[in-house]
Structure 1
Amino acid sequence: MKQVERHFGGEPRLFGGRAPTVHAVQGVTLDVKRGETLGIVGESGCGKSTLARMIVGLDQPTDGAIYFDGQDLSALVRQDRRALARKVQYIFQDPVSSLNPRKTIGRILESPLKHLTDLDASGRQARLRELLEAVNLAPEFLERYPHEFSGGQAQRIGIARALAAGPELLVLDEPVSALDVSVQAQVLNLLDDLKQRYGLTYVFISHDLSVVEAVSDRIAVMYFGRTAELGPAEGVFSAPLHPYTALLMKSVPVPGRRDLTSEDAYAELPDPLNPPPGCAFAARCTYATAQCTSVKPELSQDIGVDRDHSAACFHPLSRTI
C-alpha cells in the first residue's frame, strides 16, 4: 500500500459547510512480503481495523492505493469482487457473531465454495471434509449451529471459512482477543500450521504485544493513523526506536513487575477531527522539541543499526539513550 488515507465525514451539510472529518488512516505505506506474518499493533483507535477493512475491500481508501501482486485492489473491487475474495480473506475478532446463527456450519462453509469456486456438489463435500480436518474439527459438526460451539471452536470454523476458496493472504483482526489464554495458544498454533501447509501470508492485527511478538516476522506500530515504527519483530521488541513503541512495551503487565508505565495523565491526546501539524505523539513524548510540534516526521531507515528497522521520529531512542 502506498500513502493510504481514510477519512470519515466531511460531507456537505444541508445548510452550508461540511461535517467534521475524522482522519482514521493518514499516509500509511507498507509492504507485506509473500510468506511472512506482518504484525500491526497500536492502541485502540489508531486505525488498525480500518486498515484491515481496506485491505480486504470492505472499505475504500480516500486517497492512495493498495496493491496485490501489482494490481490495484480498489480497481479489482469495482471489476470483480470474486477475484479479490479468492486472493484475500478476513478472519474476524468475534468468532461467534461472525457466523450466521440461522445456518448450519455445513451451509456456512459451503457458501464460499458455491460462489468462489467451480466445484460441483460432490467436490464441495470433499472440500468441506478437508477444511474440517485442516482445523481439527469432527465431520459431524457440519450439521450443528454456531451457538452450539465454544469460542475456540467457532474461531476454527471462521478460519476454515476463510480458507475455503484457497486465498493467498489472510487478514486477521484480533483473532484471539475474545478467547481464553489456553485456547489462544491452540488457535495460534493452528494458524502457524496452516501457514506452513498452504503457503499463506498473514497480516496479523492485535493490541496484545505478547501475541504479536510470538507470531510475527515483522511489526508495524501504528499511532493516530500513521506508522510510527516498522521493523523485524526481534528488533522492535529488543530495541525500539520510537518513544511510543517503548511506552507500549513498558505498559505490558508482566508477573512480578511493579513498574508499569502509562501515559502522562495530563497529556492531551490528539483530536482526530483536527490532527496536529507535527508528530501526533509529541504531547506525550519526553524528547519532543519545537520541530516535533511543527513538522510531521516520516519513516526513516537512517536512525537504527538495522536498515530494515525504521521509525517516524526526529529523536529516536538509538540517539537519545
Structure 2
Amino acid sequence: MPDIVLQTRDLVRVFGGGRTLFMGKKPSVYAVRGVDIAVRKGETLGIVGESGCGKSTLARMLVGLDRPSDGDIQLSGAQLNDLLSQDRHALSRRIQYVFQDPISSLNPRKLIRETLSAPLRYLRNLSGKALEDRLKELMDCVNLRPEFLDRYPHEFSGGQAQRIGIARALAAEPEIIVLDEPVSALDVSVQAQVLNLLDDLKARFGLTYIFISHDLSVVEAVSDRVAVMYFGRVVEQAAGKALFVEPRHPYTRLLLDSAPVPGKRGLQGEEANAELPDPMAPPPGCAFAPRCPYAQDDCRKKIPDADFGLDNHAAACFHPLGRMA
C-alpha cells in the first residue's frame, strides 16, 4: 500500500444557496464537484485546468483556508476537520500554502524578520538565539542574504518575494506544500530559478507538493502525476509523461493544442463561439459536451465517471481518445 499523505473523497464546495428573507431560494454555484485525489509521500501532483475550473478553491480547502460543503480531507489518516477543531497549529505543521501573488501575500507593514518569526514562535516554539539561527537558515535555504530580514516586502522583486513566501512555508517544517500558481506572476527567467529552488527543497527536506497551475509546460516539468480539472471535476488523471504524450480526455487534448510551445507553428484553439457551461445552470450530462467534437447522446444525459487510481491512466469520458488502459 503506497504511503498516502493526503486524500480527498467526494469533495464539494458550494457558494451561495440558502433562503432569502421572504423564503425565496438563493442561487448557488458549485465550485468543486465531488473531487477525489490522493497524493503519495514525496511526489508532486500537478493540478491543471482553465481559469474558473475550481483548482484554487480546491487548494484553499486542502490547507483549511476554506471549508468543504461536503466530503472529507485526510492528512496522513487524520481528518482535516478534526485537526481544525482540535488544534489549528497541528494542521499548519502538516501542510502549508504558497500564494500566487508573492508581494500581496506578505504584510507590507512588517519586516521580513517578523513575518518569518511568527511561524517559528507559534508552531515550533523557538525563541532567542535558536530563533535567530533558524531565520538565517531559512534565508540560506531560499538563497537570500540574512540582511534581507530587516527589509519590507516592497523592497523586493517578485522572485525574491516568492522565495520569502517559500521560506515562510518551510518555517513550519510541513510535509506537504500546496503551491497555487507559484510562478505565474514571475518573468520566465525567474520562473526557472524558482522551479529549480522548489525541486532542490523537495529533495533536501523530503517534501510532498501539490502544484496548481494553468501553464501546461510548467506542470509537465515538475509533476510526477497530473490531474486535469474542468468545471469543478477531475476529468483525467495519469502519470505526467503519459498524460502529455497520449491524453485520453478531449478537454485535455484541447488544452494541449491551445498551449504555446517553442517551435510550434500556430495554435489549434477551439472556435470563438464555443459554448461554455453556465455555472448557475449546469448541463445535465458531461459539462464538456457542448464544446466536445466527439460528444454523443449519452454524453448529454449522464455525467461520466472514472476510477482515478494512483497508477492508472483514467479519463471521465464515455468516448475517450485512444484505447483506455
1:136 and 2:140 equivalent?
A: no
Q: Tell me the residue number matched to 1:310.
A: 314
Report the RMSD for the aligned CA atoms in angstroms. 1.5
Pairwise CA distance, 1:307:
5.8
Q: Tell me the residue number matched to 1:14.
A: 21
Alpha-carbon separation, structure 1, partners of 2:74 and 2:323: 35
1:191 and 2:198 equivalent?
A: yes
Name which of 300, 304, 308 aligns with 1:293. Answer: 300
Alpha-carbon separation, structure 1, partners of 2:127 and 2:108: 26
Say which SS state the counterpart of residue 45 (structure 1) adopts. coil
**Mapping 1:259-278, distance limit 5 Å:** 259-278=266-285
1:109 and 2:109 equivalent?
A: no
Q: Tell me the residue number matched to 2:45.
A: 38
CA contact (8 A) 1:23 1:275 kept: no
Alpha-carbon separation, structure 2, partners of 1:14 and 1:5: 26
1:67 and 2:67 equivalent?
A: no
Letter in 1 for 2:177: L
Say which SS state the counterpart of residue 39 (structure 2) adopts. coil
Alpha-carbon separation, structure 1, partners of 2:262 and 2:94: 41
Pairwise CA distance, 1:12:
1.2
TM-score of the superposition, structure 2-length normalised? Answer: 0.95
CA contact (8 A) 1:264 1:284 kept: no
| 1:307 to 1:132, Cα distance in 2 relative to 1, 3 A | closer
> More displaced, 12-21 or 153-162?
12-21
Name which of 65, 78, 83 aligns with 1:76. Answer: 83
Name which of 119, 143, 152 aligns with 1:145. Answer: 152
- Could you list the per-position Cα deviations for residues 279-312 of structure 1 after superposition, in whole angstroms to 9, with x for gaps in the alignment? 000001111011000100002479xxx9611110
| 1:108 to 1:301, Cα distance in 2 relative to 1, 3 A | closer
Alpha-carbon separation, structure 2, partners of 1:94 and 1:301: 31
1:97 and 2:104 equivalent?
A: yes
Name which of 102, 120, 128 aligns with 1:121. Answer: 128
Letter in 2 for 1:39: G
- Could you list the per-position Cα deviations for residues 161-216 of structure 1 after superposition, in whole angstroms to 9, with x for gaps in the alignment? 00001000000000000000000000000000000000000000000000000000
Q: Tell me the residue number matched to 2:163.
A: 156
Gaps of 5+ in 2: 1-7
Pairwise CA distance, 1:267:
2.5
TM-score of the superposition, structure 1-length normalised? Answer: 0.96
**Taking every aligned residue pair, what percent have the same amino acid on both sides?**
64
Name which of 194, 209, 217 aligns with 1:210. Answer: 217
CA contact (8 A) 1:241 1:316 kept: yes
Letter in 2 for 1:278: G
Runs of 4+ with >6 A deviation? none
Name which of 251, 258, 267 aligns with 2:265. Answer: 258
